[in-house]
Structure 1
């Protein structure tokens, strides 16, 4: 699937290119018409009818839908004299977009029974991943490619031939099987039920994925969003993925460019998001720079003229405004369709061809404020769901209903696997493990039974267990207390934790700098032999450790007289260290270096460099009086 298969050919073996892999967060879908009675022209017309039917579904269900990044689209393609439809969609962080595409294609397959549809994403056959606990043991990722198809509202699988080695199919092989022996395909209800489980909430899930909020935004921006509400998606993404260049564009004094959407002349309008987009904005911690910070302060203090603006809504309005500014100015988004259209609208406004809406006109626009309960997570209910005890609960649940249903299904699948009586230490019966998955390379000797009379170890283990129990009980009490706090108190605690983490990070960085400096000094000393304690003491260089020739020499001779025969090894190390330090000092050639700096810090000053005492005397004679 996503990796190289057994039939991959390397260089010299008929290399025909590396396996293709979809980018992250991209789903791809292909539609074939398998009908031997149709000619090539008729097949093409049938595919065009499929495209028209898709457009009808979009008009019916997607009037107000906002795609996270890209919408569903299919192009008519002819390859190897075969006509088919192919499309890709980048769904970004919105998995709901991916399942919406699955829903549309499945519905269209019922209207076109001769259409065979394959859909996959970066992870490969994600429909099989969704039905992982129901698939047969032979349907592994290595053989699943081109074997899973949607036809006539059902999920069909091409089985592995008994006489062939299990492997994935080429697309032409799969189409040949579908055309020649369609009865060979298997319809497995259990796999289908699990794979299409998320489609149970459609089509109502389409509208439930949207979220409306009334926000203060500049009048010019209100006009742009009124023209096309879907512009909100690329603008939120531009803000969410902001970089230093984007932030600079928000400050005219730095970028020396005029703002397209200056934060002024605010009006209160209803803005439509997807739940993912709204959550992305709400979760971003951001301090608005320059004029955006000033505008936020005015909105909160009611100086902007927009009544009834909460701090939260004011912050989101400022984030939306900044996102549109980044989208309009950043060269990174210049080629986006939304950016080009926004620039045309701005040019019409500047030219006077379009007038901005008045206060009376904006007042007549419909306003909608959706409940934000789906953002609230009751952690007590969440823990119940994880424990598999939330199915019969009469409370409203821990948050978003669809998320709760998906989590409940996941826990149900996990519990079903755990309770499988046929499951052993190696997993459920029939699934089996690949021999390479078993770690049998350990050479550790077998552990024998412990001596029951060895009570010391037992007592230590009991003490450790008791201490661990106490710590866990303390953690539970603290966690329960945290859950009872208000949002403001939780936010304050999180701010304190964040500040403490920053302090610890700064200390860690300081320790790293000291460590690097020490390593550099050690390397320098090694290079001059200052740390080589294994040298011979009779190397011919006398150590000098005083602040003058006579004083250093006298101290060293006095030390040598006091050392007895038992201290020879200790003397060698000190002597050699002094010798090596002197050589390191000489290597500095009179300039600053680690040896001199280190001894200065210890209060020791080296005398002028001289190879012998006589040379030192000669260098310090008075050139006039020859003294």
Structure 2
């Protein structure tokens, strides 16, 4: 029993803690003041000033804002002898809440240039993920932790350290938090400001601060007067109720199945109409749910079916049921919203406060927003993808969704096109560097043999005419003087690093026949026969196959008897076909250059049966 205890480093005996990871849909942020001249007491005092400024900033910018699940908050903490501000927010399904936090932190860094901010979410360095297509090659996920910081409104990155840095033990690979803070604090490393990376990482912040109000939706609902009183006290309670409704289960629905209205906290009696504020995500979640009226609301629902206000009544029923489930579910009793609502209802029961009258409700702000942002017209969606949206079309047909959705869609398409047009990508797609991809002693990159010399790709020569001629001969097509594409109707070209074969429409039939002939020739020559005995038939079978193709008028013979030079040319063609087949086999069923080339020529080869047992 002692051995497991020693290996596990039991609590109080050097136990380092369980592996830490953020819960789903969470963003975590920390603020540090890096000034070696300050004492810890002075640093704490400055952090409190930052904390006070955050409260002022959020009160001004987020006065009427509603968070989807949790709000932005900063608490003073102390770890390993260092004081800092720390916060964590669960943003639920509203990704815009996460970007609002990034916006607040960036604005805060502009006001306090001496603070350094680190922000991550469940996916890790999500700011780098946003800028993935413009990151330098050395900044791979294995070394990115603790290298990305916000300072003075800029996105800064700690570069790879070179040996010889004094007083700080710098590592060219992954950093720890303490290493990163010391490198910045002692100015042992100058963080990099890469404008292209910053522009991509902060792209979504361009629409702020206007986006703050655009994240909200107002709707007129018919709800119980008691619930109207609660929402008027604090509109943010709606988020917890929407979540309770959206994540409901049979147990949560049980309180609604009673037929006695008096058993409900918000019975469908004494109804009023008021303007309710939602997050757009929350309103969409509520609107999209199919919800049959429970027993306690059955009579109310039947009386509202023929009324023009059916939409208001139905949404009001969903909101009321959401609050009922929120208040009755035992697992919600520790939530701040539940405790505060219980106190408000207690004040009503004891007479310390009164329900609002109709006259008072009419004085409240009334606002009803357009719901067209919920509608998706797939014809408009296709036009957005193709960039063919008509400028003079009616407002309802000028694009699907709202402006934010249109901008995000265009950005997504642009990034995808940039990825497809990336000349640096190889046949296997994006290439990631491993842990050994580090700078050497001279600071030169040693990532791979292919990247040792800058500009090496631009020096590679490719004789397109010679290769095209060789491919035509192998496919049994008669060579044309000069090898012009106009005469043959067959072209081999390179587009953004991808080699492809194309033909004119008029010659499609001839090219298809040529593809079939080359397959027949390879079979006759035994190149497609995976039987080891094929080598024994080599030259003779090959000669007969090629002569047969010549007699059919497909091409002139590549080899004639007694002609040694022609025999040598035929062997070269045979070896080329053999190498292509071996290249296809080496792919192991995955995509690769050999299979792609054969697909272009119309050849579909089966998997090697000898390898089936290994997979």
Coarse TM-score class (shorter-chain normalised)? 0.5 to 0.7
Give me the whole-angstrom Cα distance separating, in 1, the residues matched to 2:522 and 2:23: 62
Alignment of 1:73-112 (within 5 A): 73-112=73-112
Distance of aligned partners of 1:391 and 1:415 in 2 relative to their CA distance in 1, 3 Å threshold:
farther
Could you say what secondary structure the match of 1:87 adopts?
A: strand
1:337 maps to which residue? Answer: 336
For structure 2, the 5+ residue unaligned runs are: 1-6, 164-169, 437-516, 524-615
1:232 maps to which residue? Answer: 238
Give me the whole-angstrom Cα distance separating, in 1, the residues matched to 2:120 and 2:392: 36
Distance of aligned partners of 1:392 and 1:48 in 2 relative to their CA distance in 1, 3 Å threshold:
farther
Matched, 1:322 2:321: yes
TM-score in terms of structure 2 length = 0.65
Give me the whole-angstrom Cα distance separating, in 2, the residues matched to 1:187 and 1:431: 22
Tell whether the 8 Å contact from 1:118 to 1:148 is kept in structure 2 after alignment: yes
Give me the whole-angstrom Cα distance separating, in 2, the residues matched to 1:384 and 1:432: 38
Tell whether the 8 Å contact from 2:173 to 2:435 is kept in structure 1 after alignment: no
Give me the whole-angstrom Cα distance separating, in 1, the residues matched to 2:139 and 2:391: 35
2:399 maps to which residue? Answer: 397
Give me the whole-angstrom Cα distance separating, in 1, the residues matched to 2:34 and 2:299: 63
Tell whether the 8 Å contact from 1:300 to 1:314 is kept in structure 2 after alignment: no
Deviation of 1:301 after TM superposition, in Å, equals 3.5
Distance of aligned partners of 1:123 and 1:159 in 2 relative to their CA distance in 1, 3 Å threshold:
same
Give me the whole-angstrom Cα distance separating, in 2, the residues matched to 1:404 and 1:70: 27
1:348 maps to which residue? Answer: 347
Could you say what secondary structure the match of 1:412 adopts?
A: helix
1:126 maps to which residue? Answer: 126
Given candidates 433, 450, 460, the residue that maps to 2:519 is: 450
Deviation of 1:109 after TM superposition, in Å, equals 0.3
2:504 maps to which residue? Answer: none
CA distances 1:64-107 after superposition (whole Å, capped 9, x unpaired): 10001111111101122211000100100011111010000000
Deviation of 1:419 after TM superposition, in Å, equals 1.4
1:511 maps to which residue? Answer: none
Query: Which moved further from structure 2: 149-158 or 41-50?
Result: 41-50
Could you say what secondary structure the match of 2:519 adopts?
A: coil
Deviation of 1:449 after TM superposition, in Å, equals 6.4
Give me the whole-angstrom Cα distance separating, in 2, the residues matched to 1:166 and 1:38: 29
Deviation of 1:434 after TM superposition, in Å, equals 9.9
1:136 maps to which residue? Answer: 136
Deviation of 1:385 after TM superposition, in Å, equals 3.0
Alignment of 1:529-544 (within 5 A): none
Could you say what secondary structure the match of 1:451 adopts?
A: helix
Alignment of 1:67-466 (within 5 A): 67-163=67-163, 166-181=172-187, 184-253=190-259, 258-302=263-307, 308-309=308-309, 311-387=310-386, 396-427=398-429, 450-451=519-520
Give me the whole-angstrom Cα distance separating, in 1, the residues matched to 2:139 and 2:424: 20
Tell whether the 8 Å contact from 1:120 to 1:126 is kept in structure 2 after alignment: yes
- Across the aligned residues of Structure 1 and Structure 2, the Cα RMSD in angstroms comes to 2.8
Distance of aligned partners of 1:182 and 1:298 in 2 relative to their CA distance in 1, 3 Å threshold:
farther
Deviation of 1:421 after TM superposition, in Å, equals 2.9
Give me the whole-angstrom Cα distance separating, in 1, the residues matched to 2:370 and 2:225: 25
Tell whether the 8 Å contact from 2:110 to 2:152 is kept in structure 1 after alignment: yes
Give me the whole-angstrom Cα distance separating, in 2, the residues matched to 1:18 and 1:82: 21
Matched, 1:66 2:135: no
Give me the whole-angstrom Cα distance separating, in 2, the residues matched to 1:16 and 1:58: 36
Tell whether the 8 Å contact from 2:40 to 2:83 is kept in structure 1 after alignment: yes
Deviation of 1:452 after TM superposition, in Å, equals 6.8
TM-score in terms of structure 1 length = 0.64
Give me the whole-angstrom Cα distance separating, in 1, the residues matched to 2:288 and 2:75: 37
Distance of aligned partners of 1:141 and 1:422 in 2 relative to their CA distance in 1, 3 Å threshold:
closer
CA distances 1:448-495 after superposition (whole Å, capped 9, x unpaired): 9632799xxxxxxxxxxxxxxxxxxxxxxxxxxxxxxxxxxxxxxxxx
Alignment of 1:35-54 (within 5 A): 35-54=35-54
Distance of aligned partners of 1:16 and 1:70 in 2 relative to their CA distance in 1, 3 Å threshold:
same
Matched residue count: 427
Deviation of 1:379 after TM superposition, in Å, equals 1.2
Give me the whole-angstrom Cα distance separating, in 2, the residues matched to 1:393 and 1:450: 54
Give me the whole-angstrom Cα distance separating, in 2, the residues matched to 1:209 and 1:391: 27
Could you say what secondary structure the match of 1:78 adopts?
A: strand
Distance of aligned partners of 1:381 and 1:37 in 2 relative to their CA distance in 1, 3 Å threshold:
same
CA distances 1:206-263 after superposition (whole Å, capped 9, x unpaired): 0010100001001111111111111100001010111111111112259x98100001
Distance of aligned partners of 1:409 and 1:433 in 2 relative to their CA distance in 1, 3 Å threshold:
farther
Give me the whole-angstrom Cα distance separating, in 2, the residues matched to 1:43 and 1:434: 36
CA distances 1:571-607 after superposition (whole Å, capped 9, x unpaired): xxxxxxxxxxxxxxxxxxxxxxxxxxxxxxxxxxxxx
Tell whether the 8 Å contact from 1:381 to 1:397 is kept in structure 2 after alignment: yes
